[in-house]
Chain A
Amino acid sequence: MRIPTLELEAQLIERTVERRNRIISEAEERARRIIQAAERECERIKAESERQVLTIISSELRAIRDRIVGRAIIEGRKMVMLAREEMISRVRMDVEKRLREIAEGKSGDVEYGRVLVRLIEEAASAIGGSEFIIAANRRDLEYLRGHLEEVEETLKGLLGEVKLELEEEPIEAVGGVIVRNRDGTKIYNNTLEGRLRKAWSRMEAEVAKKLELI
Protein backbone atom coordinates (compact mmCIF):
# COMPACT_ATOMS: atom_id res chain seq x y z
CA MET A 1 0.00 0.00 0.00
CA ARG A 2 1.42 3.41 -0.94
CA ILE A 3 1.27 6.33 1.36
CA PRO A 4 0.54 9.55 -0.46
CA THR A 5 3.42 12.00 -0.52
CA LEU A 6 1.59 14.75 1.37
CA GLU A 7 0.75 12.47 4.20
CA LEU A 8 4.36 11.30 4.37
CA GLU A 9 5.50 14.88 4.54
CA ALA A 10 3.01 15.65 7.27
CA GLN A 11 4.23 12.69 9.33
CA LEU A 12 7.83 13.72 8.83
CA ILE A 13 7.08 17.29 9.94
CA GLU A 14 5.11 16.10 12.94
CA ARG A 15 7.88 13.76 14.11
CA THR A 16 10.50 16.44 13.61
CA VAL A 17 8.49 18.97 15.63
CA GLU A 18 8.01 16.42 18.40
CA ARG A 19 11.72 15.68 18.48
CA ARG A 20 12.58 19.38 18.41
CA ASN A 21 10.23 20.00 21.32
CA ARG A 22 11.72 17.09 23.22
CA ILE A 23 15.25 18.40 22.63
CA ILE A 24 14.23 21.82 23.95
CA SER A 25 12.30 20.53 26.94
CA GLU A 26 15.10 18.15 27.91
CA ALA A 27 17.54 21.03 27.72
CA GLU A 28 15.25 23.15 29.86
CA GLU A 29 15.01 20.37 32.40
CA ARG A 30 18.79 20.02 32.53
CA ALA A 31 19.17 23.78 32.89
CA ARG A 32 16.63 23.79 35.73
CA ARG A 33 18.51 21.01 37.51
CA ILE A 34 21.81 22.86 37.12
CA ILE A 35 20.30 25.99 38.69
CA GLN A 36 18.69 23.97 41.47
CA ALA A 37 22.03 22.33 42.27
CA ALA A 38 23.69 25.74 42.27
CA GLU A 39 21.05 27.09 44.63
CA ARG A 40 21.65 24.16 46.99
CA GLU A 41 25.37 24.78 46.83
CA CYS A 42 24.83 28.48 47.58
CA GLU A 43 22.72 27.54 50.60
CA ARG A 44 25.45 25.19 51.79
CA ILE A 45 28.12 27.88 51.36
CA LYS A 46 25.96 30.39 53.22
CA ALA A 47 25.26 27.95 56.07
CA GLU A 48 28.91 27.03 56.36
CA SER A 49 29.84 30.71 56.37
CA GLU A 50 27.27 31.44 59.10
CA ARG A 51 28.71 28.58 61.13
CA GLN A 52 32.19 29.99 60.74
CA VAL A 53 31.00 33.50 61.61
CA LEU A 54 29.31 32.13 64.73
CA THR A 55 32.55 30.48 65.75
CA ILE A 56 34.45 33.73 65.18
CA ILE A 57 32.05 35.81 67.28
CA SER A 58 31.14 33.11 69.79
CA SER A 59 32.92 34.85 72.65
CA GLU A 60 31.04 38.06 71.92
CA LEU A 61 27.71 36.20 71.81
CA ARG A 62 28.58 34.41 75.05
CA ALA A 63 29.33 37.76 76.67
CA ILE A 64 25.92 39.08 75.57
CA ARG A 65 24.17 36.04 76.96
CA ASP A 66 26.14 36.06 80.21
CA ARG A 67 25.39 39.75 80.74
CA ILE A 68 21.62 39.42 80.24
CA VAL A 69 21.08 36.01 81.82
CA GLY A 70 23.57 36.73 84.61
CA ARG A 71 21.66 39.87 85.58
CA ALA A 72 18.40 37.88 85.70
CA ILE A 73 19.98 35.23 87.91
CA ILE A 74 21.28 37.85 90.35
CA GLU A 75 17.90 39.58 90.42
CA GLY A 76 16.10 36.25 90.88
CA ARG A 77 18.36 35.17 93.72
CA LYS A 78 17.76 38.52 95.36
CA MET A 79 13.99 37.95 95.14
CA VAL A 80 14.32 34.54 96.77
CA MET A 81 16.68 35.89 99.43
CA LEU A 82 14.28 38.73 100.24
CA ALA A 83 11.36 36.30 100.54
CA ARG A 84 13.44 34.11 102.85
CA GLU A 85 14.54 37.10 104.97
CA GLU A 86 10.95 38.33 105.12
CA MET A 87 9.77 35.03 106.55
CA ILE A 88 12.66 34.70 109.02
CA SER A 89 12.25 38.27 110.13
CA ARG A 90 8.55 37.61 110.73
CA VAL A 91 9.52 34.85 113.19
CA ARG A 92 11.91 37.22 114.96
CA MET A 93 9.26 39.91 115.21
CA ASP A 94 6.75 37.38 116.56
CA VAL A 95 9.30 36.20 119.15
CA GLU A 96 9.99 39.80 120.21
CA LYS A 97 6.25 40.42 120.52
CA ARG A 98 5.82 37.27 122.62
CA LEU A 99 8.75 38.28 124.85
CA ARG A 100 7.17 41.70 125.42
CA GLU A 101 3.88 40.05 126.32
CA ILE A 102 5.62 37.63 128.68
CA ALA A 103 7.59 40.45 130.35
CA GLU A 104 4.42 42.50 130.73
CA GLY A 105 2.66 39.53 132.30
CA LYS A 106 0.19 39.28 129.43
CA SER A 107 1.11 35.72 128.57
CA GLY A 108 -1.05 33.22 130.31
CA ASP A 109 1.26 30.25 129.93
CA VAL A 110 4.50 31.78 131.29
CA GLU A 111 4.93 33.12 134.82
CA TYR A 112 7.35 35.99 134.33
CA GLY A 113 8.32 36.25 138.04
CA ARG A 114 9.80 32.77 137.85
CA VAL A 115 11.55 33.65 134.58
CA LEU A 116 13.15 36.66 136.27
CA VAL A 117 14.39 34.56 139.19
CA ARG A 118 15.84 32.00 136.78
CA LEU A 119 17.61 34.79 134.87
CA ILE A 120 19.15 36.16 138.09
CA GLU A 121 20.14 32.69 139.21
CA GLU A 122 21.78 31.89 135.89
CA ALA A 123 23.72 35.18 135.88
CA ALA A 124 24.78 34.89 139.53
CA SER A 125 25.85 31.32 139.03
CA ALA A 126 27.99 32.31 136.03
CA ILE A 127 29.61 35.26 137.87
CA GLY A 128 30.19 33.37 141.13
CA GLY A 129 30.41 34.87 144.64
CA SER A 130 27.61 35.87 146.94
CA GLU A 131 26.91 39.56 146.42
CA PHE A 132 25.26 40.78 143.29
CA ILE A 133 23.93 44.04 141.97
CA ILE A 134 21.00 43.76 139.63
CA ALA A 135 19.96 46.19 136.91
CA ALA A 136 16.59 45.85 135.19
CA ASN A 137 13.88 47.94 133.56
CA ARG A 138 11.56 50.04 135.66
CA ARG A 139 8.79 47.44 135.83
CA ASP A 140 11.09 44.56 136.74
CA LEU A 141 12.96 46.67 139.34
CA GLU A 142 9.64 47.42 140.95
CA TYR A 143 8.73 43.74 141.00
CA LEU A 144 12.12 42.76 142.41
CA ARG A 145 11.92 45.44 145.13
CA GLY A 146 8.70 43.88 146.28
CA HIS A 147 10.05 40.31 146.12
CA LEU A 148 13.76 40.71 146.90
CA GLU A 149 13.81 38.56 150.06
CA GLU A 150 11.75 35.92 148.35
CA VAL A 151 14.18 35.88 145.43
CA GLU A 152 17.17 35.68 147.79
CA GLU A 153 15.51 32.81 149.55
CA THR A 154 14.93 30.97 146.29
CA LEU A 155 18.55 31.53 145.23
CA LYS A 156 19.78 30.38 148.65
CA GLY A 157 18.40 26.96 147.94
CA LEU A 158 20.27 26.85 144.66
CA LEU A 159 23.46 28.89 145.17
CA GLY A 160 23.82 29.20 148.95
CA GLU A 161 23.63 32.46 150.90
CA VAL A 162 23.42 35.45 148.54
CA LYS A 163 22.94 39.17 148.94
CA LEU A 164 21.15 41.03 146.19
CA GLU A 165 21.06 44.76 145.59
CA LEU A 166 19.08 46.62 142.99
CA GLU A 167 20.41 49.46 140.84
CA GLU A 168 18.56 52.72 141.34
CA GLU A 169 18.46 53.66 137.66
CA PRO A 170 16.33 51.47 135.40
CA ILE A 171 17.78 50.19 132.14
CA GLU A 172 16.13 50.20 128.71
CA ALA A 173 15.14 46.61 128.16
CA VAL A 174 12.07 44.53 127.39
CA GLY A 175 12.84 42.38 130.39
CA GLY A 176 15.50 40.38 132.16
CA VAL A 177 18.47 41.56 134.15
CA ILE A 178 22.07 42.67 134.00
CA VAL A 179 23.88 41.26 137.00
CA ARG A 180 27.33 42.29 138.24
CA ASN A 181 29.49 41.54 141.21
CA ARG A 182 30.16 44.27 143.79
CA ASP A 183 33.43 45.55 142.32
CA GLY A 184 32.03 45.43 138.79
CA THR A 185 34.72 43.11 137.44
CA LYS A 186 32.16 40.62 136.22
CA ILE A 187 29.00 41.52 134.41
CA TYR A 188 26.42 39.14 132.98
CA ASN A 189 23.86 40.46 130.52
CA ASN A 190 20.80 38.32 130.92
CA THR A 191 18.22 40.66 129.42
CA LEU A 192 15.65 39.08 127.15
CA GLU A 193 17.06 41.07 124.20
CA GLY A 194 20.57 39.85 124.98
CA ARG A 195 19.41 36.27 125.18
CA LEU A 196 17.41 36.61 121.99
CA ARG A 197 20.45 38.06 120.21
CA LYS A 198 22.60 35.15 121.30
CA ALA A 199 19.96 32.54 120.57
CA TRP A 200 19.17 34.07 117.20
CA SER A 201 22.76 33.98 115.98
CA ARG A 202 22.80 30.28 116.83
CA MET A 203 19.36 29.45 115.54
CA GLU A 204 18.72 31.53 112.45
CA ALA A 205 19.63 28.67 110.12
CA GLU A 206 17.53 26.30 112.19
CA VAL A 207 14.56 28.66 111.94
CA ALA A 208 14.99 28.78 108.16
CA LYS A 209 15.05 24.99 108.12
CA LYS A 210 11.97 24.79 110.31
CA LEU A 211 10.12 27.06 107.88
CA GLU A 212 11.44 24.88 105.07
CA LEU A 213 13.13 27.87 103.48
CA ILE A 214 16.37 25.98 102.91
Chain B
Amino acid sequence: MERVLDLSGRLQRILEEAEKAAEMKVEEARKRAEEMITRAKEEAENRRIRAQRGDGIEDLTRAEEERAKQEASRILEEYRARAERLRRVPEERFREAVEMVLGEVLPR
Protein backbone atom coordinates (compact mmCIF):
# COMPACT_ATOMS: atom_id res chain seq x y z
CA MET B 1 0.00 0.00 0.00
CA GLU B 2 2.85 2.31 0.86
CA ARG B 3 4.42 1.57 -2.51
CA VAL B 4 1.22 2.55 -4.33
CA LEU B 5 1.03 5.82 -2.41
CA ASP B 6 4.63 6.56 -3.27
CA LEU B 7 3.93 5.91 -6.93
CA SER B 8 0.83 8.09 -6.81
CA GLY B 9 2.89 10.95 -5.40
CA ARG B 10 5.44 10.62 -8.19
CA LEU B 11 2.74 10.52 -10.86
CA GLN B 12 1.13 13.60 -9.36
CA ARG B 13 4.46 15.41 -9.70
CA ILE B 14 4.72 14.34 -13.30
CA LEU B 15 1.31 15.85 -13.96
CA GLU B 16 2.22 19.04 -12.13
CA GLU B 17 5.38 19.33 -14.18
CA ALA B 18 3.35 18.76 -17.33
CA GLU B 19 0.97 21.55 -16.26
CA LYS B 20 3.93 23.85 -15.72
CA ALA B 21 5.45 22.93 -19.07
CA ALA B 22 2.11 23.51 -20.74
CA GLU B 23 1.71 26.90 -19.12
CA MET B 24 5.22 27.78 -20.21
CA LYS B 25 4.50 26.79 -23.78
CA VAL B 26 1.37 28.95 -23.86
CA GLU B 27 3.16 31.81 -22.14
CA GLU B 28 6.03 31.61 -24.64
CA ALA B 29 3.53 31.66 -27.50
CA ARG B 30 1.81 34.71 -26.01
CA LYS B 31 5.12 36.46 -25.62
CA ARG B 32 6.14 35.61 -29.16
CA ALA B 33 2.76 36.77 -30.48
CA GLU B 34 3.10 40.08 -28.65
CA GLU B 35 6.58 40.56 -30.08
CA MET B 36 5.33 39.78 -33.59
CA ILE B 37 2.51 42.30 -33.30
CA THR B 38 4.75 44.96 -31.77
CA ARG B 39 7.28 44.48 -34.55
CA ALA B 40 4.55 44.62 -37.22
CA LYS B 41 3.20 47.85 -35.70
CA GLU B 42 6.67 49.38 -35.60
CA GLU B 43 7.35 48.37 -39.19
CA ALA B 44 4.00 49.78 -40.29
CA GLU B 45 4.66 53.04 -38.49
CA ASN B 46 8.15 53.29 -39.98
CA ARG B 47 6.76 52.61 -43.44
CA ARG B 48 4.16 55.35 -43.00
CA ILE B 49 6.79 57.83 -41.82
CA ARG B 50 9.13 56.94 -44.68
CA ALA B 51 6.28 57.18 -47.19
CA GLN B 52 5.50 60.65 -45.89
CA ARG B 53 9.12 61.56 -46.61
CA GLY B 54 8.94 59.85 -50.00
CA ASP B 55 11.30 57.05 -48.94
CA GLY B 56 10.82 53.33 -49.34
CA ILE B 57 7.99 53.61 -51.83
CA GLU B 58 9.99 52.43 -54.82
CA ASP B 59 8.18 49.09 -54.85
CA LEU B 60 4.83 50.85 -55.04
CA THR B 61 5.92 53.37 -57.66
CA ARG B 62 7.51 50.57 -59.69
CA ALA B 63 4.29 48.53 -59.49
CA GLU B 64 2.24 51.57 -60.52
CA GLU B 65 4.64 52.24 -63.38
CA GLU B 66 4.28 48.64 -64.52
CA ARG B 67 0.47 48.85 -64.37
CA ALA B 68 0.50 52.16 -66.23
CA LYS B 69 2.81 50.73 -68.92
CA GLN B 70 0.46 47.82 -69.45
CA GLU B 71 -2.50 50.18 -69.72
CA ALA B 72 -0.54 52.44 -72.08
CA SER B 73 0.29 49.49 -74.27
CA ARG B 74 -3.37 48.46 -74.40
CA ILE B 75 -4.43 52.03 -75.24
CA LEU B 76 -1.85 52.29 -78.00
CA GLU B 77 -3.00 48.99 -79.43
CA GLU B 78 -6.59 50.25 -79.53
CA TYR B 79 -5.57 53.46 -81.28
CA ARG B 80 -3.38 51.50 -83.71
CA ALA B 81 -6.32 49.25 -84.59
CA ARG B 82 -8.54 52.30 -84.99
CA ALA B 83 -6.00 53.94 -87.32
CA GLU B 84 -5.83 50.74 -89.36
CA ARG B 85 -9.62 50.62 -89.62
CA LEU B 86 -9.63 54.23 -90.84
CA ARG B 87 -7.12 53.31 -93.55
CA ARG B 88 -9.41 50.61 -94.89
CA VAL B 89 -11.75 53.02 -96.71
CA PRO B 90 -13.46 51.22 -99.60
CA GLU B 91 -12.44 52.47 -103.07
CA GLU B 92 -16.04 53.23 -103.90
CA ARG B 93 -16.26 55.71 -101.04
CA PHE B 94 -13.06 57.39 -102.23
CA ARG B 95 -14.49 57.78 -105.70
CA GLU B 96 -17.67 59.27 -104.29
CA ALA B 97 -15.70 61.78 -102.23
CA VAL B 98 -13.61 62.78 -105.26
CA GLU B 99 -16.74 63.25 -107.36
CA MET B 100 -18.35 65.28 -104.59
CA VAL B 101 -15.40 67.70 -104.47
CA LEU B 102 -15.12 67.86 -108.26
CA GLY B 103 -18.79 68.72 -108.40
CA GLU B 104 -18.06 71.78 -106.27
CA VAL B 105 -14.86 72.81 -108.06
CA LEU B 106 -16.14 72.58 -111.60
CA PRO B 107 -18.75 75.16 -112.53
CA ARG B 108 -22.20 73.78 -113.15
Contacts and interface: CB of A to CB of B under 8 A. Distances in A.
A194 B26 CA distance: 97
Interface size class of A (residues with CB under 8 A): 35 or more
Interface string B22-63: 110110111011101101110111011001101001001100
B25 A31 contact: yes
Interface in A44-72: 45-46, 48-50, 52-54, 56-57, 60-61, 64-65, 67-69, 71-72
B107 A98 contact: no
Given A31-B26, A119-B107, A16 B21 contact: no
Interface in A32-46: 32, 34-35, 37-39, 41-42, 45-46
A167 interface: no
Interface in B55-90: 57, 60-61, 64-65, 67-69, 71-73, 75-76, 78-80, 82-84, 86-87, 89
Nearest to B29: A31
B44 A45 contact: yes
Question: B-side binding surface: helix, strand, loop or mixed?
Answer: helix
A87 B89 CA distance: 8
A159 interface: no
Interface size class of B (residues with CB under 8 A): 35 or more
Nearest to A76: B79
A42 B36 contact: yes
Given A31-B29, A80-B83, A41 B107 contact: no
A210 B103 CA distance: 14
Given A34-B29, A69-B75, A80-B83, A200 B61 contact: no
A90 interface: yes
A64 B97 contact: no
- 5 tightest A-B contacts by CB? A76-B79, A27-B22, A49-B44, A38-B33, A31-B29
Interface of B: 3-4, 7-8, 11, 14-15, 18-19, 21-23, 25-26, 28-30, 32-34, 36-37, 39-41, 43-45, 47-48, 51-52, 54, 57, 60-61, 64-65, 67-69, 71-73, 75-76, 78-80, 82-84, 86-87, 89, 93-94, 96-98, 100-102, 104-108
15 contacts: A9-B4, A12-B8, A30-B29, A41-B37, A42-B40, A49-B45, A64-B61, A68-B65, A73-B75, A195-B105, A199-B101, A207-B100, A207-B101, A211-B89, A212-B89
